């Protein structure tokens, strides 16, 4: 059982605020997000998920009007009707409306094109693409050769260097299944007129050493060689988009380098001495921090209590309340980390014990829990808040247990909390997108993009970390 972890989080602030921070209003912008959508093909639906992720990222800006439209539904003039247009080329060789292609070539508004299907413009001489923008599209590049048990990692364009930092794309080869888990393909472009087209960010093939543009800009036209939302990781090229998106929408923000520190999975079985030691250290160094507190501890199967089921409400958790009071007096603030951080009496998937298991997602069957509804989620949120409020505590933010909840749950959390810590999870199957609706965040989100755990030791000498 995990008793306490110190989680250091490097953040990209997607509209995120701390309790004492205010933000100036951004200038208004209208944005069109076009995406490939092929309902006849399972892979043809993933563009919708990418559009949702981009829409959520644009939530960083306070005055952004975003329209998400399948590219096949594009209507003539929509590019000029928006300040910025993003096209997510997620489906290889997807047909594109002639009106869209014509408007892209004619507009002076900003257009950002991701990955596939640029050849619809670049290879049709009628559009004069290379003359207008100073670069051409050479083709799609992928794995150097087919991986095998003898050569599991033959290499691809996987390393992006940005602001002197290397960001490596995710790659895994499963030998038994002869299957790669990665998105190795990129669009390869060639710059013909350096006075027009500029490589802003390179990408390198770590095996061959070959370099190509990853982000290229020519006047109002941007090209990104892949889709940064695909196989995203905590230290991934997604961070490049997070930074450059300010220039794309022409809303500069002051560059701020900050990190947040959180004491994780603080529950009724916490060791007060550990909290005091960490609180003293952080307070000594003038570091504010938060505590992810689970208000109602449950061990319904008695796995950690000699076979006897155990439940401890916050009112009865003396050690937890002492720990919270001490931490708050030394610069700590409370985050509500679920109601019980486990689901019913079912191992989900581990022990059914608070802090071990999922609460708002059936991870065993990888689907929403049976009770999944706004009313069920609200009841759990209200029960948890009552545990705090009855004792005079006020959580300033929410953190979903194991960051996993259905689209319904994620929307419902925003009804009680204006700020959420999350590593967002997106779904592309029919059930999650078409029947559960669009998972677009409506609250302010603190998104963890890089993390490190400081391991704590519990009272029995066991190492505590994920």
Mean pLDDT score of the chain: 88
pLDDT of residue 255: 79
pLDDT category, 124, cuts 50, 70, 90? very high
The per-residue pLDDT for range 40-89, each reduced to its tens digit, is 887 888 899 899 889 988 988 888 899 999 999 999 999 999 999 999 99
Q: What is the pLDDT of residues 414-458, one digit of tens each?
A: 999 988 887 766 655 443 333 233 445 555 666 565 545 554 434
3-state SS track over the chain: CCCCEEEEEEEEEECCCCCCCCCCCCCCEEEEEEECCCCCCHHHHHHHHHHHHHHHHHCCCCCEEEEEEEHHHCCCCCCCCCCEEEEEECCCCCCCCHHHHHHHHHCCCEEEEEECCCHHHHCCHHHCHHHHHCEEEEEEECCCCCCCCCCCCCCCEEEEEECCEEEECCEEEECCCCEEEECCCEEEEEECCCCCEEEEEEEEECCCCCEEEEEEEECCEEEECCCCCCCCCCCCCHHHHHHHHHHHCCCCCCCCCCEEEEEEEECCCCCHHHHHHHHHHHHHCCCCEEEEECCEEEECCCCCCCCCCEEEEHHHCHHHHHHHHHHHCCCEEEEECCCCCCCCCCCCCCCCCCCCCCCECECCCCECCCCCCHHHHHHHHHHHHHHHHCCCCCCCEEECHHHCECHHHHHHHCCCCCEEEECCCCCCCHHHHHHCCCCCCCCEEEEEEEEEEECEECCCCCEECC
Output the pTM of the full model: 0.80
What confidence score (pLDDT) does residue 444 get?
63
Q: What is the pLDDT of residues 282-309, one digit of tens each?
A: 999 999 999 999 999 999 999 999 999 9
Q: What is the pLDDT confidence band of residue 187, given thresholds at 50, 70 and 90?
A: very high
When pLDDT is averaged across residues 220-232 and rounded to a whole number, the result is 95
Task: Report residue 234's pLDDT band, with 50, 70 and 90 as the boundaries.
Answer: confident
State pLDDT tens for residues 206-225.
999 999 999 999 999 999 99
């Amino acid at each position: 059982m995990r008793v306490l972890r110190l989680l250091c989080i490097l953040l990209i602030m997607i509209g995120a605020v701390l309790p004492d921070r205010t933000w100036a209003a951004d200038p208004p912008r209208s944005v069109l997000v076009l995406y490939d959508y092929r309902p006849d093909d399972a892979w043809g639906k993933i563009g919708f998920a990418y559009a949702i992720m981009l829409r959520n990222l644009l939530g960083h800006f306070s005055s952004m009007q975003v329209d998400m439209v399948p590219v096949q539904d594009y209507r003539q003039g929509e590019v000029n009707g928006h300040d910025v247009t993003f096209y997510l080329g997620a489906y290889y060789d997807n047909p594109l409306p002639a009106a869209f292609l014509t408007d892209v070539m004619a507009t002076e508004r900003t257009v950002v094109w991701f990955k596939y299907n640029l050849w619809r413009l670049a290879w049709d001489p009628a559009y004069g693409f290379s003359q207008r923008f100073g670069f051409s599209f050479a083709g799609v590049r992928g794995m150097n050769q087919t991986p095998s048990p003898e050569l599991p990692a033959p290499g691809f364009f996987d390393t992006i260097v940005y602001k002197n930092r290397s960001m490596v794309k995710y790659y895994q080869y499963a030998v038994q299944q002869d299957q790669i888990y990665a998105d190795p393909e990129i669009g390869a472009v060639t710059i013909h007129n350096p006075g027009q087209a500029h490589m802003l960010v390179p990408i390198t093939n770590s095996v061959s050493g070959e370099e190509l543009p990853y982000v290229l800009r020519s006047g109002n036209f941007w090209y990104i060689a892949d889709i940064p939302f695909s196989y995203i990781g905590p230290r991934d090229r997604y961070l490049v988009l997070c930074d450059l998106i300010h220039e794309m929408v022409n809303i500069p923000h002051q560059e701020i380098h900050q990190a947040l520190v959180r004491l994780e999975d603080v529950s009724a079985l916490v060791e007060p001495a550990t909290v005091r030691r960490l609180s003293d250290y952080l307070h000594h160094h003038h570091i504010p921090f938060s505590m992810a507190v689970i208000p109602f501890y449950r061990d319904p199967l008695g796995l950690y209590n000699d076979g006897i089921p155990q439940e401890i409400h916050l009112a009865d958790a003396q050690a937890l309340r002492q720990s919270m009071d001490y931490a708050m007096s030394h610069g700590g603030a409370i985050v509500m980390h679920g109601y019980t951080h486990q689901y019913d009496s079912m191992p989900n998937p581990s022990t059914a014990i608070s802090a071990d298991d999922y609460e708002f997602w059936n991870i065993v069957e990888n689907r929403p829990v049976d009770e999944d509804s706004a009313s069920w989620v609200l009841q759990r949120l209200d029960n948890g808040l009552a545990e705090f409020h009855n004792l005079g505590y006020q959580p300033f933010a929410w953190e979903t247990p194991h960051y996993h909840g259905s689209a319904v749950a994620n929307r419902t959390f925003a009804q009680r909390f204006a700020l959420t810590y999350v590593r967002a999870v997106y779904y592309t199957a029919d059930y999650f997108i078409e029947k559960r609706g669009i998972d677009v965040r409506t609250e302010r989100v603190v998104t963890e993009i890089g993390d490190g755990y400081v391991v704590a030791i519990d009272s029995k000498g066991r190492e505590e970390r994920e």
